[in-house]
Structure 1
Amino acid sequence: MIQSLRLLNFRCFSSLSLEFPAEGVILIGENAQGKTSLLEAVCTLIRLHSPRTNRFNTLTKFSTPGFGIAADPWGQERKIQQTANGLKLKVDGEPRQSRTEYLSDGGLIVWMGNEDLSLIRGPGETRRHFLDFLGAQLDPKYRTAFTRYRRALKAKNLLLKEPKLRLPELIAYEEILIDHGTYLTETRRRLIEDLSPLVAAAQLDISGKNEALTLSYLPASGPSLKDSMLQARQREIATRQAVIGPHRDDVSIRLHGMPASDYASEGQQRTIALALKLAQGDLLHQRCARTPIYLLDDIFGELDPARRNALLNHLPKHAQKFITTTHLGWLESTEGISPLPVHQVSENSVRKL
């Protein structure tokens, strides 16, 4: 998938050039040495998205003017540069004028980390982000609708905070919100329908127990975004904040009919979080011609051998996997995974062991 990766002034790395085999690599090192940053670089290059920040300028090494990432995923030479003048994108040497154009023929990513527990325990924003990241990879129109909805939502909230109400402008922005928001809601609903059996199957594989796991989409707007927004207008004017729309939607995750956040044990919650990410990869694999790259950030130390082996056996055999870890003790009890090359990450450098 990725044979070579080159970084310039990215996070803690001044300059770095690495080569990887098709099956992937294990990155070992102490904390704060740059292991996660390497996974972040792959995700940023392929999806123009960092799981750790929403601001690209924070990815730049301290006291440098910008960063660069280059790699060859799926045989394409892709380069991104963050400069004082903004983000520059190239594919096979040709500039791409927008993020949408850059992503139109890009690759697929599944990111798995300990923070995935927040999918069960955390606020609705975490679960919405899970769906948005999946939806944007499956459907270019989803990312467009998401971007335009957010812009219109920001404008509406600014209007609601003004001392004098400008109703015609408010209505104009609401029409944009209804158009794109309805697309987001309907797409998310279908995603949950498609994910549900895959999550249940992955949860069974990992836990080895036939536990009833169900997902339900909970739109904040009810069946009609237009009607709900009209009914909430006076409340939004009074609170000076938009309270209706897909930015308030959520996903219900239940185990044996009970909320998993309240009634599932920590081990069950961790298993469900893994199942959600595995199902994400399964759906990407089913719908798209390309297998995702799997970025697994320091998760194996928290898993018992049975769940660890089940997770590795569930991953597509031919998928490229980048695995970070602080130790290799867990490998001794691991089954079903071909030996991966091990690279030591230390003091902002990487060497093959």
Structure 2
Amino acid sequence: VPAYASRLHDFRRGIKQKTVILRNGGRTDLIDRALLPLASWIWKMREEVLVMISESMKDMCGLLPHPTEIRLLRGGAGSMSLPDEDFRYSLKINKIREEALKVPVVGPHRDDMLITTNGAPAALSLSRGFRRRVAVALILAAAEGVRRKLGKNPVLLLDEITAELDSEGRNILFCALLERKTQVFASTAEPFTESFPGRIYGVDSGRVEIIDEN
């Protein structure tokens, strides 16, 4: 989205300027004031997008093994609900730390995303196969978000699409891909017997040949 890309670019440029100021031992008051509206706007947009992605993930042929939630972890912040107040407060309590480290520690450039399933971090509570299914669900939900926002279906490029999935997981995955009604280019080195809802090509010694015209 042009508006998001433009403001993210401005924020990153401001962070570079702030880094130089910190390394030179200067005051960051002015640059922090300039970064405030950019940081709060980016946080607001990211949180809205995660809400949209969460909604899109609810109906995917059972691709998600358990109820899954996604939450933005604001970089160096998160103590207050309103983005602008959170940025301002977090800068205040991290001022000495930033001066000591000489790098900005508060802002969207330090953001992370927490994925939980049944209230526990997915990275710790799910098997590798289920984590793969959650990752694919995120990709498909993000693609749905792009379609809603821009009115166009994105082309998906998926690598090792069937890796770490059992037969049931592959069938669920193929069902979810088919439901999206978007063009998908997927690759895998894993053999499978399930019916893939599309053309299957094989690559051997640099040669490409059609295996299934489905």
Identity, % of aligned positions: 25
Out of 172, 183, 194, which is 1:333 matched to? Answer: 194
Residues 200, 214 of structure 1: 8 Å contact kept: no
The alignment's TM-score, normalised by the length of structure 1, stands at 0.52
Residues 184, 246 of structure 1: 8 Å contact kept: yes
Q: Find the counterpart in structure 1 of residue 36 from structure 2.
A: 178
Is 1:238 equivalent to 2:116 in the alignment? no
Letter in 1 for 2:56: L
Letter in 2 for 1:217: L
Q: Find the counterpart in structure 2 of residue 324 from structure 1.
A: 187
CA distances 1:232-282 after superposition (whole Å, capped 9, x unpaired) = 222211221211111222222111111212222222222211211121122
Q: Find the counterpart in structure 2 of residue 26 from structure 1.
A: none
Higher relative contact order (CA 8 A, sep 6+): 1
RMSD across aligned C-alpha pairs, in angstroms? 2.3
The alignment's TM-score, normalised by the length of structure 2, stands at 0.82
Structure 1 outlier segments of 4+, above 6 Å: none
> For 1:232 and 1:287, how far apart are their aligned partners in 2?
36
Q: Find the counterpart in structure 1 of residue 20 from structure 2.
A: 158
Letter in 1 for 2:67: A
Out of 189, 201, 206, which is 1:342 matched to? Answer: 201
| Closer, same or farther: CA 287–226 of 1 in aligned 2, 3 Å | same
Deviation of 1:150 (Å): 1.2
CA distances 1:280-314 after superposition (whole Å, capped 9, x unpaired) = 12222233221110111122243222222222221
* Count of equivalent residues: 202
Out of 206, 214, 231, which is 2:63 matched to? Answer: 206
CA distances 1:20-50 after superposition (whole Å, capped 9, x unpaired) = xxxxxxxxxxxxxxxxxxxxxxxxxxxxxxx
Is 1:196 equivalent to 2:54 in the alignment? yes
Gaps in structure 2 of 5+ consecutive residues: none
- After TM superposition, list the pairs within 5 Å mapping 1:259-274 onto structure 2: 259-274=121-136
- After TM superposition, list the pairs within 5 Å mapping 1:38-57 onto structure 2: none
Q: Find the counterpart in structure 2 of residue 282 from structure 1.
A: 144
Q: Secondary structure at the match of 1:217?
A: strand
| Closer, same or farther: CA 231–300 of 1 in aligned 2, 3 Å | same
| Closer, same or farther: CA 346–177 of 1 in aligned 2, 3 Å | farther
> For 2:132 and 2:200, how far apart are their aligned partners in 1?
27
CA distances 1:173-217 after superposition (whole Å, capped 9, x unpaired) = 222321211111010111111111222333x6225x5x2211222
Gaps in structure 1 of 5+ consecutive residues: 1-138
